[in-house]
Structure 1
Amino acid sequence: MAKGDNQALKESFAGCVGGIVQVMTGQPFDTVKVRLQTQPDQYSSMVDCVKKTLKNEGFKGFYKGALTPLIGIGACVSIQFSALESAKRYFIAQNASRNQHNPTDLSYAQLFLSGSASGVANSVLSGPIEHVRSRLQIQARSGAAGAYAGPIDFFKRVYGKYGLAGIYKGQGITLVREFGGYGIYFLTYEALMKRQMKIQKTQNRGDVAGWMQCLFGACSGYTLWTVMYPIDAIKSKIQTDSFEVADRKYKGVADCVKKVLAAEGVMGFYRGFVTCMLRAGPVNGFTFMAYEATMRVLA
């Protein structure tokens, strides 16, 4: 196996570890976020959503739809980091071909585009995974009439009736979120890491303390969601809207924006934002720390 292939496998495995950590720490927060985004009439606040979920479904209610992301998000984060590092290597090669003094010193634009490439690659899996997770998260009771028994039942029924278009419902707005969001996400982390490595006068990422990597990851999560949360809210609404055209609340993204503004104002795009931000710090901090720690073990 070539050295480059071996490195790519290490990055993929480390990303998978980071993804599993991400799901286990973030699923309860994500369930509350999606319910607040898509069911504004049922919950008055984050606390109200938590209380009702515990009362009606118990603690396991926060982990509804977790099986699909547990398997899939591991693959998604694996793709994210693999695509990120591949894009970074591409830009390093481009810099070297231009005889740049330090080709590994990527510009902010190159870091943003590397992150965006990871987001686009990730969207192939994240779109359907988040679709099924959102559908399962908003079900009050799994045994209710018409409810999906789980992710496999969802995929069988939706694909059987609506084909791939049904599975990839909301993929357009998902791509917008992934391109911009992961560009911001990885730019923030890589820029902070680059700055710290210069301060420590080191070329070895492992020399940066784990707690600092965790802090930088948390900052990355905060910047991503601060900018992209309204897009995510629209995505959740589109993905959980009816499959039947005649029964849909929204004709498309523009119509969704118009109706949410009319009914709830700008704050309609920020329902669940506090929950998301509470989640963003620890989840993304631990994701990056797990990735960097795994890469050190595999080195």
Structure 2
Amino acid sequence: MSTISGQRSAAAATLPVAPESNGPSFSITANLLRLFKHIKYENLAAGLSGGVISTMVLHPLDLVKIRFAVSDGLSFRPHYNGILHCMKSIWKVDGIRGLYQGVTPNIWGTGASWGFYFLFYNAIKAYIQESRQSELSAVEHLVSAAEAGILTLCLTNPVWVTKTRLVLQYNAEPDGKQYKGMLDALVKIYRHEGIPGLYRGFLPGLVGTSHAALQFMTYEGLKREQNRYKEMPSEALLSPLEYITMAAISKIFAVATTYPYQVVRARLQDQHSNYSGIVDVIRRTWRNEGMEGFYKGMVPNLVRVIPACCITFLVYENVSRLLLGQYN
């Protein structure tokens, strides 16, 4: 972080000097304008495309992952013996519609998240690299990805709360299903719980930005090393198989490192649970389920996120280059 701050301070020093009374505000405005100059909406469109396509294909596995993550013994929750048993049980009761329960906010959330993430990430990278010939270091990629993740989470957290609530509706609930759809859920959550309800799980979500940061740092490093091995420019277009392989490796590394935060966030967002906060979730999960409780749903999560990540990154790399006129 200190390296990046130093680079920004050095770059800011080349800007015209404002009157002393307006110095700090002028510097902030000038730096924001410089950052916005690097915004490319083609990255937003490419990330959105990748997120939507991967979600449409793999949403049922996301539903399974969340149901396993919140499996804490409540009587009205269905009990599943594995991924296939869970999917068969849902299909038997609700058909294909049941497997796509919560898909609308998932499409909005995943599409918007990947779109904004790639938009902010590439803008921050370009901002840091302005007037530099050298490539960004692994730490600079890590920090750029973390900053992009925080900005994206601020915009999308209400959608993720809505998605979690819809996915965790069961036919056996005493009062029936609470929500009719995404808009109905957003309105009811806001009406009954206010803004804090829409931002449940935000703090563990902030912790989760480390997941994407580690993933992007690893992915960028693998791309750079592969191009170096092939004696090509660092941003040269690679083959689909190379993108898929690097996306899979980076995702496995990030999931294995940070998965427990997803369990904590899902349990905080679950309408059936009554936790007082992050510490309460961690304490009760540890007491009742041990370390295993923090990794519930990890297998279906890996089964889902690895192909989802591969699809998203492959679509993004190709669509962004096509829109930016870099596709050869």
| TM-score of the superposed pair, with normalisation by structure 2 | 0.81
1:158 counterpart residue number: 189
Q: How much has 1:65 moved relative to structure 2?
A: 0.8
1:137 counterpart residue number: 167
Q: Distance in 2 between matches of 1:34 and 1:46?
A: 11
Deviates more, 1:108-117 or 1:144-153: 144-153
Q: How much has 1:266 moved relative to structure 2?
A: 0.4
Instruction: Please tell me the root mean square deviation across aligned C-alpha atoms, in Å.
Output: 2.2
Query: After superposition, where does 1:20-99 map in structure 2 within 5 Å?
Result: 20-41=52-73, 42-93=79-130, 96=132
**2:317 is the alignment partner of 1:292:** yes
**2:189 is the alignment partner of 1:189:** no
Preserved CA contact (<8 Å) 2:223 2:234: no
1:201 counterpart residue number: 231
Q: 1:249 aligns with which of 271, 274, 294?
A: 274
Larger helix fraction of residues = 1
Q: How much has 1:124 moved relative to structure 2?
A: 1.7
Identity across matched positions, percent = 25
Larger Rg: 2
Q: How much has 1:146 moved relative to structure 2?
A: 4.8
Preserved CA contact (<8 Å) 1:142 1:148: no
Preserved CA contact (<8 Å) 2:164 2:269: yes
* Matching residue's letter, 1:85: N
| TM-score of the superposed pair, with normalisation by structure 1 | 0.88
Q: Distance in 2 between matches of 1:47 and 1:264?
A: 23
Q: 1:264 aligns with which of 267, 275, 289?
A: 289
**2:180 is the alignment partner of 1:149:** yes
Preserved CA contact (<8 Å) 1:206 1:292: no
2:48 counterpart residue number: 16
Q: How much has 1:92 moved relative to structure 2?
A: 1.0
Q: Distance in 2 between matches of 1:182 and 1:89?
A: 18
Q: Which runs of 5+ in 2 are unaligned?
A: 1-35, 74-78
Preserved CA contact (<8 Å) 1:234 1:256: yes
Q: 1:229 aligns with which of 259, 265, 275?
A: 259
Q: Which runs of 5+ in 1 are unaligned?
A: 97-101, 243-247
* Matching residue's letter, 1:91: I
1:99 counterpart residue number: none
Cα deviation, 1:205-229, whole Å, max 9, x if unaligned, reads 3531111111111222212211111
Q: How much has 1:46 moved relative to structure 2?
A: 2.6
Give SS of 1:58's match: helix
2:199 counterpart residue number: 168
Preserved CA contact (<8 Å) 2:215 2:250: yes
* Aligned residue pair count: 284
Preserved CA contact (<8 Å) 2:268 2:277: yes
